[in-house]
Structure 1
C-alpha cells in the first residue's frame, strides 16, 4: 500500500471514529425565525440606547492655514428603524440594520491667521446601513458564548451645519469636517456594537444554566455538547440533558438516541426532551435513594374506611392473627431498579417494578417483617409546562401483584388486590404527583417567560413549543 493510500485509510478511520464518538444530545433547544425576530426586536432596542450613549473623543487638525478642533461631541438621537436577524448556516447570525439615522452636535473652535472664534455644529447622518455577524460558541463549562465579526457601517447621506459668528469661516472646511465626522462615526459604531454584545448580550446568554440543582438529592446537566449551530431556518443548541445524583455522579449505562426534530415553526422556541433525559431522572433518583416511600395508618384517607393493621389481612393470612394479632402495620415501597420509560406518538408510558415490604409494628415500636410483594402496572404520564418548568402527573392502570417472600406463610395475593389499589391510587399516586407538580426547570435565560404552550409526542422524545416574552428589570 502506498503512502497516499495509507493516508486516505487513516483519514477514513479517523472520520469513522469521530462519527462513532459523536455525542447525541439528551435535550435540544431550537429558536425559530419567529423567536429570532423577537430577540432582534429586544436586542435592537438595547443597541439603540447604547448607540445613543456613544462617547466620541475630541479631535483637532488643520486644513491649510486653518486650524480647527471639535469637542464635547454629543448624540441626542440614534434611530434603528429597520433591522433583520437571519441564521447563516455554519457561521452564526447575521444582523442587518438599514435606514438608520443619527444626530450629532458639539462645539468647534477655528483659528485662521489672526482670526479666532468658537462655534457649534449639528451633524445629521441618514441612510446608515449596519451589518455584522454574531458568532456562536461555547466555553469550557458548556455555556454559550457570543461575539461579533465582519462589522460594517456605511452612510450615504450626511448633512453638516455650523452656527456662530464665524460660520462663513467654518464652512471653508465643511467638506473636510464632514468626512472626518462621517468616518469617525462609522468606526465608532462597529466598536460600540462589539462592546454592547460583549457587555450586554454575552452576559445575558451566559445566564443559561449549565447545571440546575433540583432538590437536595438531584440536579440536571444542561451544558452544551457542541457550539450552537445555525441552519437556514433556526438556531439549535444541543444540550447534555442529563439528571444526576448529587451524592453519586456515576455514568449513565446507555446513550441518547438521535432526535428526529420536526420542522415546526409555529412557536418562537421548541424544546426536545428525549427519553434519555427522563430515564436519567429515574437513575439519579434511584441512586440517591429517593425512590423509597412508606405508608402508615395516618396516611390512609378516611373514605377508604379501613385501618392499616393485621386484622384486615388475617382473614386470608391466618398466621398473622396467631403471631401479630391486631397490630398496626407499615408498608415500605421501593424500586429495586430505576424505572425505564418509553416515549412514542401516543405519549409516555412505563411499567415500573415496586417492592412492597409489609411490617407489623410491635408494642416496643420495632418492626417485624411480614411479607414482600412485587407490584407492576402500566403507568402513563401527562406533561405540561408551567412557569418555565416541566410539570406532569401520572395515572396508573390495573396493578399486578406477586409474592416474593413471606414470614407468615404463603397466601393468595389476589386477596390483596383491592387494598393495594386503594393504597396506590389514594396514597402513593398523590404523593408522586405532588412532586411532579413542582416540576423540573427548563434551560431558560434570565427574565424569560413562556406562553402559548404546545406539547407533542414523537418517537423517543417529547416536543415542547412556546412563545417567549422578555421581562426587563423593573
Structure 2
C-alpha cells in the first residue's frame, strides 16, 4: 500500500457528502497530531519496505574515454529513520522524511582503449530527504479523495566502492557514476510515491462508507459536505451526518447548527455528533414506521402476576368486562410525531409523546378499539462506543397519562398508572435498549479499530474521542 498508511489516521476514520460547502455538517471527524504521528509510524514501515524493493535499470554510458556499464543493480535495504506528517493550513498534509539512507550492490564493467575490467560494487546512499504534499478533496459522491500535489527527493551523498585493484581506473569515472545513480534514485523515489498514492492510498480513503445501512428500514449519510480542512493543529472532515428512511428519503425540516469542537488533543481522533444527527434518527425511524410497538399477553413477564385481558380492567372500567368478557387485550404504542432530543453539558434528554391504543382481541381475531392514552415522561440516554459503533441505553422517569379517546366510557387514568409503568419498563424499554445496544456505525475507513474511548457532552453536540489502531491485511 505504500504511502497509504502515511495518512491512515486520516483514515482512522476516517475520513472519511452531495452538498454545498456552505452546508453545516451534522457530524465532524477530527484527526489530531497524535493521530497523524501514529499514521506516520505505521506508514513509514510500509513505505520503507516498498523502497527496499525498488528496481533500477542497467546503466551504460561514457565518461571521457572510459566506457562503463552497471548491471544487476540490487537495492539491499532502505531506511527511513526520521519522518513526520504535518497538516498544512488550506493545503492538506505534508510528509517529510530526513536522513534516510540505503545500500545497493551491482556488477560493473569498464573499457579504456585496450584495458577491460569487471567486478562488483557496493553503493551507499546517505542523507536522503523526501518531501511529499498530499491534496485532500471529495468526489461527486461525497467520498474523500487524495492526490500528490508535490514530491521532491534529494540525495546529498552517494559513495561507490568497487572491488578489484584498478583504483586509478575507478577514479576516472566514479563521479559520473555517483551523479547518474543519484539522479536515477531521486526520480524513482517520487515515481513510487505518486503511483502508491494513485493506486493504493486513493483506493484506501475511498473505503469510507458515505452511506451506512443500519437495518432493513434506515441508513446514515456520512458523505463529506466539503473537502477535509487542515489547520496547523489538526485535520477536520465535515460529514452530512443524517439518518434517512430507506423507503422514502424526505427533506429534514431543520438544519444543523455550526459545530465547534473543543481543542482537545489527548486522543488520536475525535467525533462530534450534533443534536441534528440524533434528531434525524428520530425522523427516519418515525417515517419508516419503526416506532410502533405492540404488547400482547405472550410478552408479559411471568413474575408480574397478571394476565393482559379485559378482566384486568374490570375494577375501574366495569363496562369493559361487560362488553368484552375475558377477552385478551393488545396495546399498540406509537409516536404521533418524531421524538426530539436535546444535548447539553448534563447529557442527552428527551420528552417523547407516546400514544397507547388498547384493543380487545375478538374470537375471530379482529380488533375492537377500547381507549387511547397519551403517555409522556422524561427520558435520559447513556452513550458509549463499542466495536466502532455508537451504542446507548435509555432510562425513563415517571410516566404521566391522559385519556385522549374511549369507546368504553370515561375512567380515571391514574387507576392504570401502575399497569402502564410495568408495560413500559418491563417490555417497551428493554426492546428499545436492545436495539440501541446494537448501535449505529461510526464513519471509519477499512481496518480501523478504536480504543481508549472518551465520551463528553457539550451544548448541542456529543464528543467522542478515541485512539486508533490500524490492522494490516494478512
Q: Is the TM-score greater than 0.5?
A: yes
Give the superposition deviation at 1:201. 2.2
* Partner residue in 2 for 1:247: 247
Q: Does 1:32 align with 2:61?
A: no
Q: Name the SS for the 1:414 alignment partner.
A: helix
Q: CA deviation at 1:127?
A: 1.4
For residue 204 of structure 1, what is the aligned residue in structure 2? 204
Separation (CA, whole Å) in 1 of partners of 2:273 and 2:29: 9
In 2, Cα distance between equivalents of 1:113 and 1:21: 70
Q: Identify which range, 133-142 or 453-462, moves more after superposition.
A: 133-142
Alignment correspondent of 1:4: none
In 2, the alpha carbon distance for the partners of 1:353 and 1:57 equals: 74
Q: Residue 371 of structure 1 corresponds to which residue in structure 2? A: 371
CA contact (8 A) 1:162 1:171 kept: no
Distance, in Å, in 2 between the alignment partners of 1:72 and 1:209 is 45
Does 2:374 align with 1:388?
no
Is the aligned partner of 1:192 residue 2:187? no
* Contact 2:134-2:150 at 8 Å conserved across structures: no
Residue 45 of structure 2 corresponds to which residue in structure 1?
A: 45
TM-score w.r.t. length of structure 2:
0.94
Once the 2 structures are TM-superposed, how far is the Cα of residue 113 of structure 1 from its aligned partner? 2.1
1:57-108 residue CA offsets vs partner (Å, 9 max, x unmatched): 2232111222222222221100000111111111111111111101112222
Question: Which runs of 5 or more residues in structure 2 are unaligned?
Answer: 1-19
Deviation at 1:473, TM superposition (A): 1.6
Q: Indicate whether 1:444 and 2:447 are aligned.
A: no
What does residue 162 of structure 1 align with? 162
Corresponding residue of 2:427:
427
Residue 272 to residue 432, structure 1, CA distance change in 2 (3 Å): same
Map Cα deviations across residues 192-233 of structure 1 (whole Å, 9 max, x no partner). Answer: 111222233222211111111111111111010000011111
Partner Cα distance (2:59, 2:223) in 1: 47
Q: 1:21 to 1:47 in 2, by over 3 A?
A: closer
Match of 2:278 in 1: 278
C-alpha distance in 2, partners of 1:165/1:214?
73
Aligned residue number for residue 81 of structure 1:
81
Q: Which moves more between the two structures, 194-203 or 389-398?
A: 194-203
- What is the CA distance between 1:111 and its match in structure 2? 2.4
Match of 2:404 in 1: 404
Partner of 1:288: 288
Cα distance per residue 1:300-344 (max 9 Å; x no partner): 111211110111112111210110011111111111111111101
Q: Is the 8 A contact 2:21 2:226 kept in 1?
A: no
- 2:333 corresponds in structure 1 to 333
State the Cα deviation string for residues 5-45 of structure 1 (Å, max 9, x = none).
xxxxxxxxxxxxxxx98100000000001001001111111
Q: Distance in 2 between matches of 1:357 and 1:240?
A: 37
Number of the residue aligned with 1:101: 101
Aligned to 1:398, the other structure's residue is in SS state coil
Q: C-alpha distance in 2, partners of 1:346/1:469?
A: 30
SS in 1 for 2:46: helix
Question: Take 2:313 and 2:326, find their aligned partners in 1: how far apart are those partners?
Answer: 10
Q: How many residues align?
A: 455
Alignment partner, residue 8 of structure 1 = none
Whether 1:114 and 2:107 are equivalent positions in the alignment is: no
Indicate the SS of the match to 2:232: coil
TM-score normalised by the chain length of structure 1: 0.94
Note the alpha carbon deviations across 1:262-291, whole angstroms, 9 max, x for none: 001111100000000001111111111111
Q: Distance in 2 between matches of 1:21 and 1:93?
A: 20
Instruction: Tell me the distance in 2 between the aligned counterparts of 1:337 and 1:250.
Output: 15
- 2:48 counterpart SS class: helix
Equivalent residue of 1:409, what SS?
coil
Tell me whether 1:362 sits opposite 2:362 in the alignment: yes
For the aligned residue pairs, the C-alpha RMSD in angstroms reads 1.4
The answer as to whether partners of 2:448 and 2:469 remain within 8 angstroms in 1 is yes
**CA distance in structure 2 between the partners assigned to 1:46 and 1:199 by the alignment:** 15
Check whether the contact 1:80–1:99 (CA below 8 A) recurs between aligned residues.
yes
Indicate conservation of the 8 Å contact 2:220/2:243, yes or no.
yes
Whole-Å separation in 1 of the counterparts to 2:208 and 2:22: 23
What is the CA–CA distance in structure 1 between the aligned matches of 2:105 and 2:232, rounded to whole Å? 42
Query: Does the CA contact (< 8 Å) of 2:353 and 2:375 recur in 1?
Result: yes
Q: CA deviation at 1:125?
A: 0.8
Cross-structure match for 2:65: 65
